[in-house]
Homo-oligomer: A and B are copies of this chain.
Amino acid sequence: MLTIVACSAERKLDEAVTKERLPDLLKAPGTTVWVDLSGPIGDEAGFLTSTFHVHPLAIEDCEARRHHPKIDDYGSHLFILSHGVHPESSAREFKSRQLSAFLGPNFLVTCHRDASRSIQATLEGVRRNPRLMAEGPGMVLYRVLDYQVDLYLPLMETLQKRIDEIEKECLAASTSAILQDVFDLRKALVRLRRFSGHQREILLRLSRREFPLIDDKTAVYLRDVFDHLVRITDLADSYRELVAGALEAHLSIVSNRTNEIMRVLTVITTLFIPLTFIVGIYGMNFDMPEFHWRYGHLFVYGLMAAVAAGMYFVFRRRGIFNRR
């Protein structure tokens, strides 16, 4: 589906532009044209090439599914491939959605396979206030990228909450149930860090006036989007460190628990084993002299008490009882 919006130098918005009128509009001074292409490019590739003279390699990149964010300067136009947060992204899986943009001196072409929330929001903003578009195609691109970055924020909050939960669980339980979750979260964070890092690099290049197609005024705004992305990559790094720390703490806790349990087992087992051995001796069917003593069984009781006390003192001395 093709949406074409043009904005004249007099800040009048025109949404009834046909493909045929585009070449004339692109020649009119002060006019900004925005073409949004939703769904697969397919047959429109020819139209893009002939009208905007975009590079065939950029078209190819548009259509490919697996690409990281990138920016290419083809002289007459910039090609920007950017990744937004997919609405289904969660703390278990980070999904991204690809948005391609061709930025020329007076045109912006955006392509996306699925519905794009940032495009939708920018379009509505332009309709409400055509002045936004009269500032040139760079400012329209800024708005799209700004919306895209804003959509990272709810995900960051979801992640923050999940990490708080996982942290508590890691420090509390010694079960394995949490470990699958930790693993998934780490995977999502690796992916998020990777995509936001590339995205940040693109915005750094856009905002530091590397490309003549971006004027100084627009660069100031793109710098702001860059700052947001710095914060997101920063958070992603912190999150990874926190999750790794939680897992380490978990391992320590399990280790301590095992140690604690072993101490209980050792104390009780080693205390009773010699006693059980003694009662075993007097359970033998020999005719032992102690059986004929008057207080034979009391003697054995005393012997056992002495052995238990002896063990206790030895243990105490070797520090088995205290936790150090």
Contacts and interface: CB of A to CB of B under 8 A. Distances in A.
Contacts of A14: none
A241 to B, nearest CB: 5
Interface of A: 55, 57, 60-61, 66-68, 70, 72, 74, 167, 171-176, 179-180, 182-183, 186-187, 190-191, 194, 220-221, 223-224, 227, 230-231, 234, 238, 241-242, 245-266, 268-270, 272-277, 279-288, 290-291, 296-297, 300, 318, 320, 323-324
Given A261-B262, A266-B261, A320-B261, A254 B254 contact: no
Nearest to A296: B286
A281 B276 CA distance: 8
Highest count of chain B CB atoms <10 Å: which of A187, A234, A261, A269:
A261
Question: Copies of this chain, how many?
Answer: 5
* A interface, over-half SS: helix
A12 to B, nearest CB: 25
Nearest to A274: B272
9 contacts: A68-B230, A173-B323, A179-B249, A190-B241, A254-B256, A254-B259, A269-B269, A273-B273, A285-B288
Nearest to A240: B241
Contacts of A249: 179-180, 182-183
B270 A270 contact: no
Given A176-B252, A323-B175, A284 B283 contact: yes
Contacts of A176: 252-253, 256-257
Given A282-B285, A283-B283, A270 B268 contact: yes
Contacts of A250: 252
Contact of A283 (B241, B242, B259, B280): B280
Given A242-B187, A245-B183, A252-B251, A282 B286 contact: yes
A49 to B, nearest CB: 15
A296 B289 CA distance: 12
A58 B227 CA distance: 12
A194 B236 CA distance: 12
B282 A284 contact: yes
A276 B271 CA distance: 13
B323 A174 contact: yes
